[in-house]
Structure 1
């Protein structure tokens, strides 16, 4: 079985950061390539190069997730980030930059009040948000077991060489070398993309000794041809994975689960009303899948998809998720992109293909009225149907800026009504409600009397496995498989493998 590499997961997070900050896709990946080339040119030792690799990929992740306070201060946080490279931000320049963006989208009166408060408090509110972003990224690195060599530099994301950064507790050689490499690479990438080689050289010269370590700037100026070689044409994802300092280290299942659970927790930071949502949906959906008798491998897919199903939310401005009034058409369309973004983020990791598909389908509906692809009927496997039901049931029980949480009984009735209307699979709904402790009137399945083991045999049969292959997959004897198939054919009223497989597809047991 193909396992997931740690580098793939962390690189995926960098794509999430690009989305959340409204920056071009693979921007952080290109920054990482520059970071590693610059480290090599500077003769940096292997341990620090490894730390710089992961620091570069994760530095801006905190800015992409916990943005609700940032949106409250600046409106659309992506516009703030888009302008952040333009000037050497420190002291008066930083104050002017902040004042210019405070209260974006608000009335003149409110903006004036916010600017006055900012000046009176010396920008404490903005500093707190910046420090929170650093802490979030550092804690995520800790959960991914990347060690202090990565966690510490991430806390210094907004510090500067001249000591005039945020929180202003480190400068010069007290800044981790990994941080100094990333600071220079970040700006070199941004200016190279918009103004070419001359733009990259100019920003390095102008900020030498202020924002950037002068020795690294000198190294870059001397070796810029090598550092920037082919940057416009490279396949950034492939290049970054090839540079993996851990040489393709693969994650065992328990560590992969821990990482995906951390992804879900991180995605929930996008809105304070959603804290714990992904973790709870994952457990409820997995319990519902087990209640239906799905194969253990499918239960694992459902749980993992539940953890990451909302990671695409990071690519949508916080103002959308925190809107206290009904969405405008533009806001609604923006929100509806998040399952597609989830799918796109996870598509780069082949070993998570089934998880990505399931996660991306949590807003699809049986009647074709869902999104992002408008799938319906047989196109939606039972794994996706269960996740969709668990997501809606749990969300209804959580408060949102525009509504209060529903009592469990009312949430269950809404979900059951959606099943009656043909938008949800009633078996998935019943399984989720049963797993949530709600009593349901129907039996959990309309598979005529199939046991959990018979269901597993049917799924393997529908996937094209022969009797010996089914026996091997389920670790039972061939005779046992033959007996189960006889019972399945009799209970379903079919006489061929094809008819049994079609039944399994119609009822969402296989995709």
Structure 2
């Protein structure tokens, strides 16, 4: 491969687990509408509070990782949030400005409902939301917490951390969701996480004084009074240098497993979990990153690339889409043409992928390939308009594989193309000088050798239930499933219930992840 050199990091210098989870937190930051390193700084702050309160090493480990990935489940609900509120990222950013209860919180939510619609239509949407607000928010948050626990397990975190994440939206006063747990029934570790994560935002906005003001105002409501008091009494010390220091280095220095290096299957397992995490953001992308990784690796083998380069290709395929976290679902799921501003946001996502992963040791070759998957030989690609002479064989293979996989998946503005149609479109791209012809043929050959699944389906699913599972995973409601399959809504609901029962799941996110695991995403 062109970029690999004798000085490239070897297995002993490979990615540390803590680095990859820190990178995941940067992707989470993007989806929260916060600048990168928000979660890293809040993890440092939470660690300082935990130390001051005398928590033991095990508790401090829970505080650290629960804070770092506290919002890992929220992106799994971006589809539902976008349907309710339009811009999922803007909504999450606004939540930090209010104590999430009562009329101020409701006003903030309703200000997002129906944005972009005319007055009458928006009024109808707002009234409909107000009539069902608590139930719908409880459903969303319940799904979020369940998804957070599942994703926490998949990235290899201790089960105690996944269990703690169930309290991400609970409050000291019991006014939280989904269960209304209150006071000391919420783990102390999560009380610290709640205060640290919000305080970091207000520290950035207005300094220690503003952070203390928010902690004092929300003590006894959103925040545990004991934790809030500790923060108020020692805010200067606890926040000292927090905004000036290298947040990446400071957070990694606190990682309980900071010396643990990943390689081989262990590394691939974590990268696959990260791929699933990003694909859950948009239902039509479910399984996309895994499929791209497998296809591009197969094409690399057909081209006779060395095993080390095929490994890099596979991993680049898994992580190429991490930057999608920084683009609202309002854009990803828009059925019509994008505006100029929306298109510019989309064009940034490969660059954001590079930003997220740029400081992970031993991933340099992977990042270099992953960030070029939307570049084109004629310079018409993005984000940098790189031309053919600067695109390696690996770059060209990943670009062709990602394009072919995308053609075969449904999008808001079109249905999925048949394999034959997708192949024709891919060859047209090569004919126009945008994609490399040899890379295209390698990808198409690899795609033609993929095994055709035959009955019986796994988990005891019927062919109809597989159809229903795929539609559920893409975010379809029971009514939409009924319309697409030309069946009664009650029948669709019964199918969904049977699918959930057979898979042992209870929401769309978990059903989607099960579909990926069983090879049924598409």
Q: Same fold (TM over 0.5)?
A: yes
Question: Is residue 171–residue 180 contact of structure 2 (8 Å, CA) maintained in 1?
Answer: no
Pick from 341, 357, 360: which aligns with 2:371?
360
Please state how far the C-alpha of 1:63 moved relative to its aligned partner: 2.4
Select 2:385's aligned residue among 374, 377, 390.
374
Pairwise CA distance, 1:66 = 3.4
Q: Where in structure 2 are the equivalents of 1:151-230 lying within 5 Å?
A: 151-230=162-241
**1:386 Cα deviation from its structure 2 partner:** 0.7
Q: Distance in 2 between matches of 1:190 and 1:306?
A: 33
* Equivalent position of 1:276 in the other structure: 287
- 2:321 is matched with which residue? 310
Answering whether residue 312 of structure 2 is matched by residue 323 of structure 1, we say: no
Deviations along 1:112-137, one digit per CA (max 9) or x if unpaired, are 22222223224322322223233222
- The within-5 A match list for 1:8-407 is 8-407=19-418
Instruction: Work out the CA distance in 1 between the residues paired with 2:181 and 2:131.
Output: 25
What is the distance in 2 between the residues matched to 1:127 and 1:339? 34
Deviates more, 1:222-231 or 1:405-414: 222-231
Cα-to-partner distance string for 1:431-485 (whole Å, 9 max, x where unaligned): 110111179xxxxxxxxxxxxxxxxxxxxxxxxxxxxxxxxxxxxxxxxxxxxxx
1:430 correspondence with 2:441: yes
TM-score between both structures, scaled by the size of structure 1: 0.83
Contact 1:288 1:386 in 2 (8 A): yes
State how far apart, in whole Å, the 1-side matches of 2:327 and 2:436 are: 29
Alpha-carbon deviation of 1:65? 4.9
- Distance in 1 between the 2:341 and 2:320 partners? 22
Deviations 1:376-419 (A, max 9, x none): 22311111111111111111111111011111111111111211
Q: Distance in 1 between matches of 2:77 and 2:14?
A: 30
- For the 8 Å contact 1:51–1:149, the answer to whether it is kept is yes
Per-residue CA distance 1:348-369 (angstroms, 9 max, x = gap): 1121111111110101111221
Distance 1:247 1:232 in 2: 22
**8 Å contact from structure 2 (residues 351, 371) kept in 1:** yes
What's the offset of the Cα at 1:218? 1.6
Contact 1:16 1:61 in 2 (8 A): no
CA distance in 2, matches of 1:160, 1:23: 22
Report the alpha carbon displacement of residue 101 of structure 1 after superposing the two structures with TM: 2.3
List runs of 5+ in structure 1 lacking aligned partners. Answer: 440-511
SS at 2:362's partner residue? helix
The equivalent residue for 1:495 is: none
Distance 1:88 1:328 in 2: 34
The residue aligned with 1:505 is none
Number of residue pairs matched by the alignment: 439
8 Å contact from structure 1 (residues 6, 250) kept in 2: yes
Gaps of 5+ in 2: 1-9, 451-522
Q: What residue number does 2:476 align with? A: none
Distance 2:184 2:324 in 1: 38
Secondary structure class of the residue paired with 2:174: coil
